[in-house]
Structure formats: structure tokens, C-alpha cells
Structure 1
Amino acid sequence: MEDLLKVGVITTTHGVRGEVKVYPTTDAERFPDLEYVFLDTGREKKQLYIQNVKFFKNLVILKFKNIDNINDIEKYKGKELWIPREEAQDLEEDEYYIADLIGMKVVTEDGTSVGILKDVMETGANDVYVVQDAQGKELLLPAIHQCILDVDIEKNIMTVHLMKGLV
């Protein structure tokens, strides 16, 4: 399991006082409760303390302490923001962190290998799991109870039922 979980990506700056627009990869309402995030600079994970949080359309606007100029933050466009797992929100039953699902082995109920879960597409109605087989072909599985039978985080295995029309 990952020690850090991605919560967003800096899309651009906002104004000239060091604020940034962030595309959230978690529930946007979570940001006011965060004290700090780790900025992945590409070379290191730099801890930044959050001074202010605002919302604009589907984005979160963050102001970090001690970053008061657009020039100090502009170089981090496109960089990811992370939090420690222990700071993450509690999950409901049948909810998982995407970071825990990526790389998971996917098998059918009879144990036949389907492939490896490569991505999760968040569509609104339900997530869609992107599974890649040994030949590199992608299979899209809806994250619904009729299709996803079991997720075992400890064993890193997802058991699925391949519904008619999916294969």
C-alpha cells in the first residue's frame, strides 16, 4: 500500500499572490480540513502548509503559507499534491483508495486471470476500471456489484464477473 495518497494536481496559478488552482483527485470538500500537503517537485516531496482554501467551479484554490508571489509557485504547474495515508478520509464499505487498486491482479470467479488494473476512470455514475491483459488489450469494467465481486487489498486481487457484452 502507498504511504502517500494523491489529493490533487496544480493546474495553474491564480492571481499574483502565490495562489494556485488545483484539480482535486479526492472529494474537494476535504481540503478545508487539511493542514498541509506534500508537493511532488519531481526531485522531492516538499511539505507546504495550507493558509487558505477557496472553491471555483470544479477546482480548489489554495494559498500556502510563506508563498506570496506568483514566481515562487508558477514552476509547480502540473505537479501533484499528496497527503499521508493517516490523514486520509475514512472509507465506507466497498470504497477503496485508487492508489490501492492500481496494479491489482484481476481474476474471474473461477480464478482465470483477466489482467492487471491499470487505471480508474471516474465517470460520475460509477467508476470504470481499466484492466490490461497479457497481450496489452484493455478491458473496461464498471465498478458495480454485479461485476466486481471481491476486492482483497491484502492479497492484491480483485475478483470479477465478466458480464455479457464486456468481452
Structure 2
Amino acid sequence: MTEELNVGRLVNTHGIRGEIKILSSTDFPEVRFAPGKKLLVVPPDGSPKFEVTVESSREHKGMYIVRLKGYTNINQIEKYKGSLLKVPSDDLVELPENEYYFHQIVGCEVYTDEDDSQPLGTIKEILQPGANDVWVVKPAKGQDILIPVINDVVLDVDIQAKKIKVHLMEGLLP
């Protein structure tokens, strides 16, 4: 079975003609919500997921307003508020070299350039505070370590081995 990745959440309806508001959680909303694209709707009540096709979409106030084929009335779509929208992982957009999806990075073990025999910890979360991402590394014991994702710190990323080598600049350890 193919892994599925979240691309958004159906947060509300828009108007009475069956359009929906989607809070996007993808870096490629213009691709994911393009006419003709297929999405999996995963209802919050545990009922079976089902596939829909995007008929039209537009950005509006930080969200996407999407019309789905076959849904022309608010009553048809309102019951799916809160649903997750997913795509199969084999439908990923190819990224440039040295760029990775969050799901590829989370769970990787982090090693330092000074000691690659003992892991510093495992990446449990990725923060996006501004200019660059920050990896939250959970060590075996102690406080989380925040690693800025910049060239001076991240030396090597091996997605296949789930291993990342970093250079710890002064002040990075708590």
C-alpha cells in the first residue's frame, strides 16, 4: 500500500455552490489544487476515505477556494468539514538537489562531524521561524537541541540511511 501525505485540510465551505476552503499544508498548492488533480478526502469521523477531482481553484486570503467535480451544493460537501486532504507519496513533486520533504528528514539520526559513532539524537520536528528551517533534535536524554538548517551547520544528508551529519557551532548545545 502506498504511503499518503497530507496536502491540506478542508476547513469550511465557501458560498452555497459546493466550493470549499482548504488550509494548505504543502509547498506546492498551485500543483496540488490544479484542475484535474486527484485528492483523497479522509473524513474526521473515521468513515472511508474517497477520491475527488479538482475542477477549479484560486487562492483567497491565505487559503485555497476549490470546486470539486460532482459537488455543486453546500449540502453535499458540508459534512466533510475538518477532513484531511492527501495524495499518494508516489505523486510527489521532484525537488532540486539538496532539498528534502519534511517526512524524509523527520526521524533521521543526527551525528556530529567530531563523533559519528554516537548519534546526537533524532529529528522529531521541523520549525519554520523565518529565514531558514530549524530541526528539533531529541537526544537520548536531556533537552531538545535546535539545529539551524544552514550550509555551515548541515554537512551531509543521507536520506536512504536516515543519517545526517552536522557541525555544531559554538552555542548550539544547551
Match of 1:84 in 2: 88
Match of 1:70 in 2: 74
Task: Indicate the percent of aligned positions where both proteins have the same amino acid.
Answer: 37
The answer to whether structure 1 residue 36 and structure 2 residue 38 are counterparts is: yes
**One-letter code of the match for 2:169?**
M
Match of 1:114 in 2: 120
Match of 1:48 in 2: 52
TM-score scaled by length of structure 1: 0.86
TM-score scaled by length of structure 2: 0.83
SS in 1 for 2:165: strand
Q: CA RMSD in A?
A: 2.1
The answer to whether structure 1 residue 159 and structure 2 residue 160 are counterparts is: no
SS in 1 for 2:123: strand
Task: Provide structure 2 residue ranges, at least 5 long, that are not aligned to the other structure.
Answer: none
Deviation at 1:28, TM superposition (A): 2.5
Match of 1:23 in 2: 23
Match of 2:152 in 1: 146
- Higher share of residues assigned strand: 1
Aligned mates of 1:137, 1:33 — CA distance in 2: 46
Aligned mates of 1:113, 1:131 — CA distance in 2: 10
Moved over 6 A (4+): none
**One-letter code of the match for 2:42?**
D
Aligned mates of 1:125, 1:106 — CA distance in 2: 22
Between the two proteins, the alignment pairs up a number of residues equal to 166
Q: Which has the larger radius of gyration?
A: 2
